Chain A
Amino acid sequence: MDKIWLVFQREYLVRVRKKSFIVMTILGPLLMALVMVVPIWLATMSDDTKVVQVLDESGYLKGKLASTHELKFVNVPGPIELAKQIYLNSEDAALLHIPEIALEKPQGIQLYSQKSTSLSMKTALERQIRQELEEVKFANSGINQEVLDKIRTPVNIRTVNLSAEGEKSSDVGVNTGVGFMGAFLVYLFIFIYGAQIMRGVIEEKTSRILEVMVSSVKPFQLMAGKILGIAAVGLTQFLLWIILTSAISTGVASRFDMDRFSDQQIGQTMQGLETDSDVQQAQEIHELFSATQNLNFPLLIGSFLFYFLGGYLLYGALFGAVGAAVDSETDSQQFMLPITVPLILSFIVAQTIIVKNPNGPVAFWMSMVPFTSPVVMMLRMPFGVPTWELLLSMFLLIAGFIGTIWVAARIYRVGILMYGKKVNYRELSKWLFYKG
């Protein structure tokens, strides 16, 4: 036991002291924050206001198109040929030509531009013109604006999880997001740290240290110490990421005064808002916010740690065995494939089938099979998983990694002392039954 501890210490310290570990630990959360913040930032600082020249020959829209932050409308005189000439000499974004149109069937509206127009500009224009034309039609049919406003009914369904303990706001979007994040992290960690085990073993093999080692340590102790040491490195990194990320997100939250949208303060906040759209936005943010807060974070983080460790032990042992069976990393491909396929498969299936039906049969079975359960179960967790399913899946995962460790230890034991021999599956299966 104390030998496993010695090996553990070495594997841990050597990796944690590496510069790349320190750099990744600091950069990791920053990169993630960047991935989240940059698109928002880019969207808010979108390009300058675009000027659209309008030639309205129908007369329905004169002065009615409202300039917004993105689009500014300028009326130009006709006829269209002249307008085109003027537009070509200007630097404006586009020329909108509305010919004389029939209200019932508005056709022939065209948008000229020197560069191709964006989809968002086209939809914005279509929406505005439709609204204006509809209003003219409403007026013609005797419905005035007041009546219309009364008829319009904004609908927003609030999803609530009902259980014996009470009601909780939930949000499918938030659940999917959180589940996906957890699944992705488990997938990523298994891959990164599993591959590290393999590389570590290959390094020991190529540096010819193994025979020295196994004359004082049992191969199983060596393998166990290595796998656990690298797991500790992964957990350390994960822990540091959580601390750094929560520090950053607290900073972000206070910067944007996110407390405004909490359950306690949302009423007050909404009163202070003037326009309908602001109120609606605040409501949406509040719902996201409370749905996020209502997630069972201790359970999520707890099960993340369990599934990360379980999945890592299951796959890590196999990665270690592959490392022992080959002489160099280039030889490892043929054995890597069958190991990585279930992992990749579970991640791909997670994105399609399971997101659509997180409690369906595919999701159920994949969260039971130890090879896919770490990723799939993480995705299902935020949607609420029955306790018996969770316990069964955990039990199967534990049984699974005990099994793979048994297999891996036998391959490892023989493989680490084999040099310069090309190994195939038949050979590997024989190793399983070699005597001490």
Chain B
Amino acid sequence: MQPILQIQGVSKRYEAHQALDKVSFDVPKGSIFGLLGPNGAGKTSLIRIITQITAPDEGRVLFEGQPLQPHHIKEIGYLPEERGLYKKMKVGEQLVYLARLRGMDKADATQRIKTWAERLDLKAWLNKNVEDLSKGMQQKVQFIATVLHEPKLLILDEPFSGFDPVNANIIRDEILKLREQGCTVIFSTHRMESVEQMCDYIAMINRSRKVMEGSLKEVKARYRSHTYHVEGTGRLLVMSPDFKVLAQAQHGSQFEAEIQLEPQVGPNQLLRYLTDRVEVHNFREKVPSINDIFIQTVTQEAHG
């Protein structure tokens, strides 16, 4: 299937600062795509190019195989990190205004606003001024404004920052629902736990370059260290060139250990070796979290 978005060799320079350096990756249709990177890595610059706020100096962006064009604005919903609303405007009017700017007609917009307001429990507030709303409710309004025109591609920059856990859950469920309906979501964040929960694919940008890309599983597999966590009863004494003990602890008759396999060795060999000597209660592979991978990549780059 054709990717919904293809970034091809995009570079952007501001004065002395290189914001993006030949970044390329594809965003598969119907996925939740995590765009990761530390602050100042170039995420926002890239998003501003995708949303056509700025243009790239080099390279191009394809939307469904077509070079980006002004009419694509209708197909994209964007929730920026720096987001707000007109404080002195009524919630309903404001949503209609933002929807019309994205090319919807008034009647359509009003109808969909009603549906969304009911879904997110905002119906009583449509006639209130934005400044009378709590921050959480304002964020719901912003979310509605982003998805109202039923975009094919949704770009959310730090969507959960500032949400309380309850509202964050509501929004997460809505995002998952939208994905089921065929919407593609790009998540820009440096909060890794939400990436782990939601993303199918990720790309990481560090210091204006893409440093990693792939499906979540692939990336994790790539960063496997063949390390296993073992717990059990007995006294473990590993004396084999095939295994390397990274850490070990003894609590009375209980032990806990982290053991790394040498490249040619499989986990079953370790298990067999263990069951001959101790009673194993718990045996699992230590998979690196996205957080670990993120920190590892960023610090490596910084030193190398």
Contacts and interface: CB of A to CB of B under 8 A. Distances in A.
Interface of A: 3, 6-7, 10, 14, 203-204, 207-209, 211-217, 417, 419, 430, 434-436
A211 B85 contact: no
Contact of B84 (A3, A207, A215): A207
B3 interface: no
Query: What 3 A-B pairs have minimum CB-CB distances, sorted nearest first?
Result: A208-B84, A211-B80, A207-B84
A214 B100 CA distance: 14
Nearest to A434: B14
Interface string B6-34: 00000000110000000000000000000
A217 B51 CA distance: 11
A213 B97 CA distance: 10
Interface stretch (B53-61, B120-128, B213-221): B53-61
Given A14-B89, A208-B83, A215-B52, 15 more contacts: A6-B101, A14-B86, A207-B87, A208-B80, A208-B82, A208-B84, A209-B86, A212-B98, A215-B80, A216-B102, A217-B101, A417-B48, A419-B82, A430-B15, A435-B55
Task: State which size class the interface on B falls in.
Answer: 20 to 34
Given A6-B97, A207-B84, A208-B83, A215 B89 contact: no
A214 B53 contact: yes
Interface in B97-112: 97-98, 100-102
B228 interface: no
B100 A215 contact: no
Given A10-B97, A430-B15, A435-B55, A211 B89 contact: no
A204 B142 CA distance: 15
Contacts of B78: 212, 215
Given A3-B101, A208-B83, A215 B51 contact: yes
B143 to A, nearest CB: 12
A249 to B, nearest CB: 36
A215 B84 CA distance: 13
A436 B101 contact: no
Nearest to B76: A215
Contacts of A7: 101
Interface in B124-148: 142, 145
B89 to A, nearest CB: 7
Contacts of A6: 97, 100-101
B114 interface: no
B54 to A, nearest CB: 6
B88 interface: yes
Nearest to B149: A216
Contacts of B54: 436
A417 B53 contact: yes
Given A417-B53, A435-B55, A435-B57, A209 B84 contact: yes
Contacts of B83: 208-209, 211-212
User: At the interface, is chain B mostly helix, strand, loop or mixed?
Assistant: loop
Contact of B82 (A10, A14, A211): A211
Contacts of A417: 48, 53
B62 interface: no
A119 B55 CA distance: 74
A212 B55 contact: no
Task: Give the one of A14, A213, A215, A417 with max B CB within 10 A.
Answer: A215
A430 B102 CA distance: 31
B97 A211 contact: no
Interface string B65-105: 00000000100101110111111110000000110111000
B73 A209 contact: no
A215 B98 contact: no
B85 A209 contact: yes
B80 A212 contact: yes
14 contacts: A3-B101, A203-B87, A208-B82, A208-B83, A211-B53, A215-B51, A215-B52, A216-B73, A216-B101, A417-B53, A430-B15, A434-B14, A435-B57, A436-B55
A52 B54 CA distance: 84
A287 B101 CA distance: 57
A207 B98 contact: no
A312 B57 CA distance: 36
Contacts of A14: 86, 88-89
A232 to B, nearest CB: 17
Contacts of A430: 15
Nearest to A219: B53
Contacts of A208: 80, 82-84
A215 B53 contact: yes
Contacts of B142: 212
Nearest to A209: B84
Nearest to B89: A14
A42 to B, nearest CB: 42
A389 to B, nearest CB: 44
Contacts of A3: 101
A7 B89 CA distance: 13
Contacts of B100: 6
Nearest to B57: A435
A207 B142 CA distance: 12
Contacts of B82: 208, 211, 419
A262 to B, nearest CB: 50
Nearest to B51: A215
Contacts of A419: 82
A354 to B, nearest CB: 41
A262 B145 CA distance: 63
Given A14-B89, A207-B85, A213 B55 contact: no
Nearest to A217: B101
A217 B78 CA distance: 13
Contacts of A434: 14
Contacts of B15: 430
A214 B97 CA distance: 14
A215 B97 contact: no
A7 B85 CA distance: 14
Interface string B252-288: 0000000000000000000000000000000000000
Nearest to B74: A216
Nearest to A3: B101
A111 B102 CA distance: 83
Contacts of B102: 216
Contacts of B87: 203, 207
Given A215-B51, A216-B98, A207 B80 contact: no
B155 to A, nearest CB: 9
| Best-buried of A6, A204, A212, A419 by chain B (most CB within 10 Å) | A212
B303 to A, nearest CB: 30
